[in-house]
């Protein structure tokens, strides 16, 4: 196993990758809606654009850092630059009526309390927790909710460490935006490593843990370690895979290279790998511009040197990556760097979907166009996939069967494991953007899973399908 200590990497190489001459680690500087007027390049866009940003940022979270501003955005192309669209508020992230309600308060310089009250009301209209994740995904033990855990699929649990419920920068499309708006009723998080580990230990069918957020990579390693090192306990031998969802690789790659505890973090990955665990860094990369800096490539190299793998995923997002060529270029570069393309998601039905959603028919055309331009090693990416209430549903294609044009769909993952890989058909709809907008083909009243899923929704005590229930 390759060691990851700094001494194993020539200092000059590390400094070159980090863009420094004296070996000093760059310092993170964060800007929120209170600092819009301090972001120098924004001034060229004019007062009206700044006003629109402040209005939208009153409802949806905004946070960007100095690395993104200085290294990822082509300001000569703003506001059309894809990374600008990925990180800065845009007027049409809210529908016109919502925007105008909030804009009117700002125009008359309403008190902060009035703006906050309207923001709370509007957020609750934006489907803050889609796919039943607050009603159906939160497991209970002895009648008490296990804090910070979501358990939708039998083999995989998600954990939200409280120290990781922010990000180095926020993505404008993010479906977990509700974690960042300061509303405790909308937030999922826990500080209890012990409760998590006990929950995992008692479920031998649970093989995968996904640390998510927010972004666990904003955490200092000393805070992350109790969760991950706890997995080395022999009673958790059945937990084979540790996944870490993160945007840090492209929004703050210094986390893996020059941050003070970068070596300690990579050493933690290495210990998990040496123990026999499969460590997968689930990197959210939305555009190839995020991968062009030397520091990004050095971060990738260092992570892979620990024995961990990097899998990449992103939703298909209008104004950012809604082009087959963008995806093909992104996947080719990821394969070249040793990363594994994993998912093309469909933009979820929450938050700023008004601006970013792409119809399923167009999503499939883009996916096919990208696949035609890459080799087999990049065709590991599944999609377009909807993370809907019943499970992950993939649009496999469009076909004409018995004279009817249909979407061919299948479950990649399901609340009931028996649904997985079962094909089903929906009437072709050029405008539909989500599963609940589709209707069954061939005169059927319901999709095959609907009755069972409706029963799951009605049964407040049913959180996860157990293996014994499936076999029965």
CA–centroid distance for 156 within its chain:
16
Residue 36 lies inside a defined structural domain of this protein: yes
Name the nearest CA neighbour of 249 among 213, 297, 288: 297
Q: What is the pLDDT of residue 8?
A: 37
Listed as ranges, residues in the chain with pLDDT below 70 are 1-23, 130-135, 181-189, 460-472
Q: What is the pLDDT of residue 1?
A: 41
Q: What is the pLDDT of residue 183?
A: 64
Burial (CB < 10 A; 0-12, 13-18, 19+), residue 191, is middle
Q: What is the pLDDT of residue 462?
A: 43
Q: Which residue has the tokens 């190299």?
A: 301
Q: What is the pLDDT of residue 21?
A: 44
Beta-bridged to residue 150, according to DSSP, are 158
Q: What is the pLDDT of residue 137?
A: 76
Residue 404 lies inside a defined structural domain of this protein: no
Residue 463 lies inside a defined structural domain of this protein: no
Residue 418 lies inside a defined structural domain of this protein: no
Alpha carbons 345 and 119: distance in angstroms, whole number: 28
Residue 469 lies inside a defined structural domain of this protein: no
Range of the domain at 70: 6-123
Residue 84 lies inside a defined structural domain of this protein: yes
**pLDDT tens across 300-358, in order?**
999 999 999 999 999 999 999 999 999 999 999 999 999 999 999 999 888 888 899 99
Q: What is the pLDDT of residue 187?
A: 59
Residue 57 lies inside a defined structural domain of this protein: yes
- Report CA torsion sign: 212, 414, 285, 276: positive
Residue 27 lies inside a defined structural domain of this protein: yes
Is 359 in contact with 432 (CB distance < 8 Å)? yes
Q: How many domains does the chain have?
A: 1
Alpha carbons 266 and 254: distance in angstroms, whole number: 12
């Amino acid at each position: 196993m390759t060691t990851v200590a700094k001494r194993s990497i020539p200092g000059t190489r590390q400094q070159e990758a980090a863009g420094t001459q004296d070996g000093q680690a760059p310092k993170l500087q964060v800007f929120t809606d209170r600092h819009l007027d301090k972001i120098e390049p924004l001034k060229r866009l004019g007062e009206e654009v700044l006003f629109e940003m402040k209005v939208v940022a009153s409802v949806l979270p905004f946070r960007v850092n100095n690395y993104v501003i200085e290294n990822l955005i082509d300001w000569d192309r703003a506001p059309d630059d894809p990374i600008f669209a990925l990180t800065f508020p845009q007027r049409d992230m809210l529908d016109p009526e919502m925007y105008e309600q909030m804009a009117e308060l700002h125009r008359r310089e309403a008190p902060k309390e009035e703006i906050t009250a309207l923001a709370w009301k509007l957020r609750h209209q934006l489907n803050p927790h889609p796919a039943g994740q607050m009603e159906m995904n939160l497991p209970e033990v002895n009648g008490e909710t296990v804090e910070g855990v979501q358990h939708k699929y039998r083999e995989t649990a998600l954990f939200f460490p409280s120290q990781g419920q922010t990000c180095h920068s926020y993505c404008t499309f993010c479906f977990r935006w509700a974690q960042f708006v300061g509303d405790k009723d909308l937030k999922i998080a826990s500080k209890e490593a012990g409760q998590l580990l006990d929950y995992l230990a008692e479920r031998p069918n649970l093989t995968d843990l996904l640390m998510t957020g927010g972004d666990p990579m904003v955490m200092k390693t000393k805070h992350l370690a109790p969760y991950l090192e706890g997995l080395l306990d022999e009673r958790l031998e059945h937990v084979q895979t540790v996944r870490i969802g993160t945007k840090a690789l492209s929004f703050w790659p210094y986390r893996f290279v020059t941050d003070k505890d970068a070596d300690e973090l990579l050493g933690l990955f290495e210990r998990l790998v040496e123990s026999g665990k499969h460590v997968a860094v689930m990197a959210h990369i939305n555009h190839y511009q995020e991968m062009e800096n030397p520091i990004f490539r050095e971060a990738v190299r260092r992570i892979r040197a620990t024995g961990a793998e990097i899998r990449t995923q992103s939703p298909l997002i209008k104004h950012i990556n809604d082009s087959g060529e963008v995806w093909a270029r992104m996947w080719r570069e990821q394969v070249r760097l040793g990363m594994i393309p994993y998912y093309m998601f469909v933009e979820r039905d929450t938050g700023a979907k008004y601006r970013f959603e792409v119809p399923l028919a167009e999503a499939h055309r883009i996916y096919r166009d990208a696949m035609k331009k890459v080799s087999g090693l990049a065709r590991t990416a599944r999609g377009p996939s909807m993370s809907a209430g019943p499970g992950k549903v993939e649009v496999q294609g469009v076909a004409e069967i018995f004279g009817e044009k249909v979407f061919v769909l299948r479950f990649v993952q399901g609340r009931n494991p028996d649904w997985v890989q079962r094909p089903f058909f929906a009437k072709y709809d050029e405008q539909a953007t989500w599963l609940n907008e589709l209707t069954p083909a061939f005169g059927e009243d319901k999709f095959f899973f609907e009755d069972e899923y409706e029963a799951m929704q009605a049964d407040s005590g049913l959180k996860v399908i157990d293996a014994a229930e499936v076999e029965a």
